[in-house]
Amino acid sequence: MKLLRYGDPHQEKWGILDAGGHVRTLDDALVGVTGDPLSPEWLAQLEALDPAKLSILKTGRRIGPAIPRPLNFVCIGLNYADHAAETGAKIPKEPILFLKSLSAFSGPYDDIVIPPGSQKTDWEVELGVVIGTKAAHVAEADAMDHVAGYCTVNDVSERAYQTERGGTWDKGKGCDSFGPVGPYLVTKDEVPDPQNLKLWAEVDGVRMQDGSTSNMIFGVRFLVSYVSQFITLHPGDIIATGTPAGVGLGKKPEPIFLRPGQQMKIGVQGLGEQSYKTIGG
């Protein structure tokens, strides 16, 4: 099942993608659905609906982030060996965790705003894991019981803010529009192996990243358990699981960074593709 959110920013409503690629609204159907959103019970009731009986969304409506604004937007740093190598970093012995500001949370087709004066805005396609039930100190064997599904994430990053301005990485990760999520939340039953998905990023039609989640250092199951030891995860929270090689910072002989007026596309196999332009802030 592919769920999505449509409508103006901060006023999005739930929709579902049918087999023919049409977005169906869930406004009326949700009146009879019980349980907490994204819980197994809630998802099972949506799965039982007949999409053909739901209204088709009118064209021209904005598709927003695939889930409501989360409580925690957790990111994993340097989780692909090839990405660590291209940035000159050592492979971490434990996952590197940081939190992305929720002001960065945005839709899969919303403009990417390059901050005023930025010279090093970069892209990072990532597999996003969406939590369905509260997870605190969960064992690795039980971790997947807390996962609702998966989505495409772009961990947009300003490298000078991230590494040249002192302190932690957060300065370069939380700018407005730096966290596109979606277009879909794909339930985990449709993704039997999250460790075998292709993911890619293109800028102005040029393929920049072309990787596979099979190359993660720390896999999804381990990450959900690991993060839950430090941060209680709540329904709708996202774990962005890291990016493969091919970011602008790692390009040779010189880094390549985003500038206003460019077109960017990123995608994860089976989870949909994001597409947006870059604009000046």
Q: For the chain, what are the domain ranges?
A: 2-53, 73-280
Of the candidates 281, 251, 278, the residue with the CA atom closest to the CA atom of residue 265: 278
Residue 108's pLDDT is 98
Phi and psi angles of residue 136, each rounded to the nearest 5 degrees, phi first: -140, 120
Both tokens assigned to 179 = 């966290």
- Tens digits of residue pLDDT in 236-252: 999 999 999 999 999 99
- Tens digits of residue pLDDT in 90-132: 899 999 999 999 999 999 999 999 999 999 999 999 999 999 9
Residue 1's pLDDT is 97
Both tokens assigned to 1 = 């099942």
Residue with tokens 């945005």: 106
Burial of 88 (0-12, 13-18, 19+ CB in 10 A): exposed
Helix H or strand E encompassing 173: none
Residue 273's pLDDT is 98
- Tens digits of residue pLDDT in 191-213: 999 999 999 999 999 999 999 99
| Cα–Cα dist 12/6, whole Å | 5
Cα atoms in the Cβ-side hemisphere of radius 13 Å centred on 181: 34
Of the candidates 270, 269, 260, the residue with the CA atom closest to the CA atom of residue 114: 260
DSSP state letters, 209-252: EEEEGGGBSS-HHHHHHHHHTTS-B-TT-EEE----S--GGG-S
- Tens digits of residue pLDDT in 4-41: 999 999 999 999 999 999 999 998 899 989 999 999 99
Both tokens assigned to 69 = 């604004």
89, pLDDT greater than 90:
no
Greatest extent of the chain over all pairs of C-alpha atoms, in Å: 58
Q: Which residues 6+ apart lie within 8 Å of 84 measured at CB?
A: 78, 90, 91, 92
| Cα–Cα dist 61/276, whole Å | 16
59, pLDDT greater than 90:
no
Of the candidates 172, 165, 158, the residue with the CA atom closest to the CA atom of residue 255: 158
Residue 272's pLDDT is 98
Just give the CATH number of 73-280.
3.90.850.10
